[in-house]
Amino acid sequence: MALLLLRFGDLTLKGKNQKQFIQKVKELLLEKTAMFRLEYTFQHDRIYLTVPDSIPVESVFKQLSYVTGLHSYSVVHKCEKDLNLIATQAIPFLQEVIQTKQTPFKVESKRADKSFPLTSQEISKALSKLILREIPLLKVDMHDPVVTLEVEIRQEAAYFYVSKETGTGGFPVGIGGKGLVLLSGGIDSPVAAYLAMKKGLAIDCIHFESTPLTAIESVQKVVDLTQVLARYAPNSTIRLHVVPFEEIHSMILNHIPEAYIVTIMRRMMVRIASAMAQKHHLQALINGESLGQVASQTIESLETIYQVSQSLVLRPLITYDKNEILALARKLETYPISVRPFEDCCTIYIPKSPSIRPVGWLAQRYEEKIPYQEAIERAIQATQVLVIHANQTLDLASRGLTVKEALQ
Ligand code: ATP
Ligand code: MG
């Protein structure tokens, strides 16, 4: 049997919000660990889980990594209330985590059992002494320790733990309202979706698909990405709105000057996404834009594209470098899906020289050449909502060449 201690994330929230935060984390936790037979002990600022021997702790850790709002978790060891015994039992765990050179270290103690004869400071001091005698590579550093031994003396026993697994931190999904993620098959937007969830937003996703102009496999990527993201969502479910974009896409390719194709394509997406957000009471659009990454993400481009938005727009990645985004994509396990080689509407037939400083009045003048209002209406009407669950794969690619065919 293993005992796990879970700590909350950003508990700087006050009053009612804090209560709600804890309640939401609990709900997510119960749902994400429902497949195990665990015992839960809820305390004000922490949660204990008892894991039976039949379940590997790593598999519980994996599920905990999908609970947004959890700050960290540790395996806690139970021991008699005897400092010599605590030191002896803690030493092997400390040895596992120390480096080959001198490692800054401290002991942090709490004395919940006030009848214990030493104060918490005295406990820490005595334990440090016992441990340093056995592991000379440790060196006490109260301010910047690399390794911390945490000890708690309680009524029934003493508890200690050495290492912490870091959780997502942030806030539990759903506490901060709802947003609509513009999800492409690329690397960035799934990462943006995750960051929005970890800041407490529940999400729907929207994808603009141009089959048969583009391959259905590019839509499959988006379905599969949504499935991975659903691990973090309440009920492990995310709604994916799939918008047929081929008509508008072709209209743009045929009638808009090259330099403005990308700008106007993005304006059409934003118009539709913004209308969808209003229709479904989603409070913000969320996308994977990062300043300066490509021509459509200069400040002038963003300004011109989002002039047509009626919604608040959040860009979690706006200041991220590509390597930071890649590291997150790998951690989330979205990366291998994102790099599957299928082009979507934003990468196919891309003009060689898109404008990096498009202006609104010119975009508008070009748009007047195409009957886009009606086309947008039709696209919204024909949008299909897929409910994607983390444990259910939806295979579109083998069922047809277009989304319409595949969903028939
Ligand atoms: P990503 O890796 O997220 O595709 P990117 O760097 O390739 O980002 P763009 O292709 O310019 O950037 O797209 C910018 C953002 O616009 C994306 O992050 C995404 O939020 C949104 N987007 C682009 N194409 C689509 C699409 N077909 N459907 C939905 N959203 C899209
Ligand atoms: Mg892209």
pLDDT reported for residue 11: 64
Q: What is the best residue among 180, 181, 182 to mutate for testing ligand 1's pocket, by most ligand atoms within 8 Å of CB?
A: 182
Q: What is the best residue among 187, 189, 226, 291 to mutate for testing ligand 1's pocket, by most ligand atoms within 8 Å of CB?
A: 189
pLDDT reported for residue 240: 98
Nearest atom, ligand 1, residue 181 CA: 20
Go through the domains of the chain in sequence order and give each one's CATH number. Answer: 2-166 (3.30.2130.30), 178-406 (3.40.50.620)
Q: What is the best residue among 188, 226, 269 to mutate for testing ligand 1's pocket, by most ligand atoms within 8 Å of CB?
A: 188
Q: How far is the CA of 184 from the centre of ligand 2 (A)?
A: 6
Its pTM stands at 0.92
Q: How far is the CA of 351 from the centre of ligand 2 (A)?
A: 14
Give the 3-state DSSP-derived string for the chain, with helices as H, strands as E and coil as C: CEEEEEEECCCCCCHHHHHHHHHHHHHHHHHHCCCCCCEEEECCCEEEEEECCCCCHHHHHHHHCCCCCEEEEEEEEEECCCHHHHHHHHHHHHHHHCCCCCEEEEEEEEECCCCCCCCHHHHHHHHHHHHHHHCCCEEECCCCCCEEEEEEECCCCEEEECCCEECCCCECCCCCCEEEEECCCCCHHHHHHHHHHHECCEEEEEEEECCCCCCHHHHHHHHHHHHHHHHHCHHHEEEEEEEECHHHHHHHHHHCCHHHHHHHHHHHHHHHHHHHHHHCCCCEEECCCCCCCCHHHCHHHHHHHHCCCCCEEECCCCCCCHHHHHHHHHHHCCHHHHCCCCCCCCCCCCCCCCCCCCCHHHHHHHHCCCCHHHHHHHHHHCCEEEEEECCCCCCCCCCCCCHHHHCC
pLDDT reported for residue 18: 85
Q: Which ligand is nearest to the CA of 269?
A: 1
pLDDT reported for residue 349: 61
Q: Which ligand is nearest to the CA of 345?
A: 1
pLDDT reported for residue 165: 87
Q: Whose CA is nearest to atom 21 of ligand 1?
A: 182
pLDDT reported for residue 134: 92
pLDDT averaged per 10 residues, the chain (length 408): 86 75 94 94 88 94 96 93 94 85 92 92 94 92 92 92 89 95 96 97 97 93 98 98 97 94 96 98 97 82 95 97 97 96 66 83 95 96 97 93 91
Q: Whose CA is nearest to atom 22 of ligand 1?
A: 184
Ligand 1: residues whose CB is within 6 Å?
182-184, 186-189, 206-208, 287-289, 293-294, 296, 344-346
Q: Whose CA is nearest to atom 23 of ligand 1?
A: 184
Q: How far is the CA of 62 from the centre of ligand 1 (A)?
A: 29
Q: How far is the CA of 331 from the centre of ligand 1 (A)?
A: 20
Q: How far is the CA of 258 from the centre of ligand 1 (A)?
A: 19
